[in-house]
Structure 1
Amino acid sequence: MPARRAITGRSQEPRKRFAEELRSLRAERGLTLRKLGDVAGWDWSLFSKMENGETLGGPEVVRALDQYYGTPGLLLTLWELALNDPNQFKERYRQYMTLEAEATSLWYYAVGAVPGLLQTPACAQALLSAGGMDGEELVTQVDARIGRRGLLSDEGAPAFRAILSETVLRTPLPDRNDWREQLEYLLTMSEQRNVIVQVVPHAVGPHALMNTDVMFLRLPDGRTVAWVETDFSGDLVNEASSVERLQLRYDRVRDLALSPAESRKFIMRTLEEASCEPSI
């Protein structure tokens, strides 16, 4: 078994270091990308994108490469470092924003917060502040987030479906008036022809996306990519089989959601509750 390679002495940028190691290992074996795809059992085009730094791939393919190259845990460690690199998150998000602007349709599942495209300024400020942002950066990011809302109202706006966990509607903003305004905005946006809003009630029980915020983007060339996000990081998923697995989960959750009409009624009831004065 070959000795584990040292991390030092090569690129110190996690994503570049990961791609560099992939290229080096394949070159040592004298393999073409197509041959690597044949022997490792994955589409060679995915390996090409990973080696060019266009995508990190998923943990399954990285483990398969570790096994094939006889580098137990090395590639997976480098992959995890690249995945959690703060600078990489910013770069991935810039890529996502570019694709979002080009998308012909979008569909989203929200675990605990109103989707960015449906947030009011007060909601955006409260959520970004809760994440630790303040000062000039907070002002800039709120403006940028609110500016994105035009995507759904401009001429030729894409179709957008947002499925919200009931948790989204049961987690109010600190200011009651701000929260009422946010719920009213959800109702207003749900009336647009290109926007569908659905709610998954708590009563449905466990489901396939309980801990996963995910946005799917259908691109002009027919491809679908996904953006998966937590409070700490996000990842742009390009690999077709991974997107397909996420899409299947999304479809199962959509089957559990209330219809658009029933979802509007649910939001209206939540708004009525939020409009009631608190008991003294």
Structure 2
Amino acid sequence: MPTRRAVTGRSREPRARFAEELRLLRTQRGDSLRQLGERLGWDWSLFGKMENGETVGGPEVVQALDQHYGTPGLLLALWELAVSDQTQFRERYRRYMALEAEATSLWHFAVSVLPGLLQTAGYAREVLAAGGLKGEELDQQVEARMGRRELLEGDDAPLFRTILSEAVLRTPLRDVGEWRGQLEYLGEVAEGPNVTVHVLPFSVGVHGLVGTDVWFLRLPDGRTVAYAENAYRGELVEENGSVERLQRAYDALRDLALSPPESRKFVLRMLEEVPCDPSN
């Protein structure tokens, strides 16, 4: 069974940290660059450039490296940090990504969009495109998001619980076929052993997390940190008192939400409302 490695802080700069981890994993395995290229089917010079920081490569090669080294999701998370550094993504999200890669459990509340860990490729593409991504950058981010779903796979996958506002399921994709596929996938994954899905009905009314998406990450050292985000900004919350206040609001929502079996039935009812033929 692969061992999940913690993202420890050696190099602070994301691109250098990514290159450093690639070199470390290869040398620990005892592979030369040429041997690595032969085993994975890529030109060995690409791996040399990645380890020297000349390029970060693409998500497909990083996923292959994660599989080769038995580090599910670690290298892909570091790759996203490196890409984020190149495109000047928000610093607060970089820190969150590093923590997510080592979390032992994840709890989440969604206001209007499904969490990336439960998205299909079609859903991810439409959401990311709505945020302004296009072309090669859009393709890479969709592939990376799909690769991150591996975080929930395997015997040592973290426990994941999400509470979905009913608005999430009432906001369809423009492509009816892709929306149907997303609902079908959500219904399937909700039956998984380590994934729990709740639906929070509109009838609950105003609550303590109105307008705020929030994640809670349980870390190996026993700490819990939170990441709260609205339409304009996100904030990594590590101070114990602030995390506890968010947790109390989350617990109140969990008490009001539908049970997992009721929530899955809700998703299936939504699916029944979507035409099988996108042209209908």
Q: With the length of structure 2 as denominator, give the TM-score of the two structures.
A: 0.66
Q: Tell me which residue corresponds to 2:94.
A: 94
Question: Which amino acid in the other structure matches residue 146 of structure 1?
Answer: M
Question: Which amino acid in the other structure matches residue 255 of structure 1?
Answer: D
Q: Tell me which residue corresponds to 2:114.
A: 114
Q: Tell me which residue corresponds to 2:272.
A: 272
Q: Structure 2: where are the runs of 5+ without partners?
A: 1-86
Q: Answer whether contact 1:100 1:217 (CA < 8 A) is retained.
A: yes
Displacement of 1:215 in angstroms is: 0.5
Equivalenced residue count is 195
* Partner Cα separation in structure 1 for residue 89 and residue 240 of structure 2: 21
Displacement of 1:278 in angstroms is: 8.6
Two-structure CA RMSD over aligned residues (Å): 2.0
Question: Which amino acid in the other structure matches residue 214 of structure 1?
Answer: V
Question: Which amino acid in the other structure matches residue 253 of structure 1?
Answer: L
Q: Answer whether contact 2:125 2:138 (CA < 8 A) is retained.
A: yes
5 Å matches for 1:185-224? Answer: 185-224=185-224
Identity of aligned residues (%): 62
Q: Tell me which residue corresponds to 1:175.
A: 175
Q: Structure 1: where are the runs of 5+ without partners?
A: 1-86
Q: Tell me which residue corresponds to 1:43.
A: none
* Partner Cα separation in structure 2 for residue 228 and residue 136 of structure 1: 29
Residue 153 in structure 1 maps to residue 153 in structure 2 = yes
Question: Using a 3 Å threshold, how does the CA distance of structure 1 residues 279 and 153 change in structure 2: closer, same or farther?
Answer: closer
Q: Answer whether contact 1:217 1:226 (CA < 8 A) is retained.
A: yes
Question: Which amino acid in the other structure matches residue 154 of structure 2?
Answer: D
Q: Tell me which residue corresponds to 2:240.
A: 240
Deviations 1:136-180 (A, max 9, x none): 211111111111100001330010001000000000001011001
Q: Tell me which residue corresponds to 1:66.
A: none
Q: Tell me which residue corresponds to 1:135.
A: 135
Q: Tell me which residue corresponds to 1:80.
A: none
* Partner Cα separation in structure 1 for residue 88 and residue 279 of structure 2: 48
Bigger radius of gyration: 1
Question: Using a 3 Å threshold, how does the CA distance of structure 1 residues 255 and 122 change in structure 2: closer, same or farther?
Answer: same
Displacement of 1:277 in angstroms is: 6.3
Displacement of 1:235 in angstroms is: 1.3
* Partner Cα separation in structure 2 for residue 215 and residue 88 of structure 1: 22
Deviations 1:188-220 (A, max 9, x none): 111111000010011111111121000000000
Question: Using a 3 Å threshold, how does the CA distance of structure 1 residues 169 and 240 change in structure 2: closer, same or farther?
Answer: same
Deviations 1:239-280 (A, max 9, x none): 110000000000001111000000000000000001366998
Question: Which amino acid in the other structure matches residue 275 of structure 1?
Answer: P
Q: Answer whether contact 1:89 1:233 (CA < 8 A) is retained.
A: no
Q: Tell me which residue corresponds to 2:184.
A: 184
Deviations 1:72-103 (A, max 9, x none): xxxxxxxxxxxxxxx88522212111110100
Q: Answer whether contact 1:89 1:234 (CA < 8 A) is retained.
A: no
Question: Which amino acid in the other structure matches residue 125 of structure 1?
Answer: R
Q: Answer whether contact 2:177 2:277 (CA < 8 A) is retained.
A: no
Displacement of 1:231 in angstroms is: 3.2
Q: With the length of structure 1 as denominator, give the TM-score of the two structures.
A: 0.66
5 Å matches for 1:23-102? Answer: 90-102=90-102
* Partner Cα separation in structure 2 for residue 157 and residue 201 of structure 1: 29
Q: Answer whether contact 1:123 1:182 (CA < 8 A) is retained.
A: yes
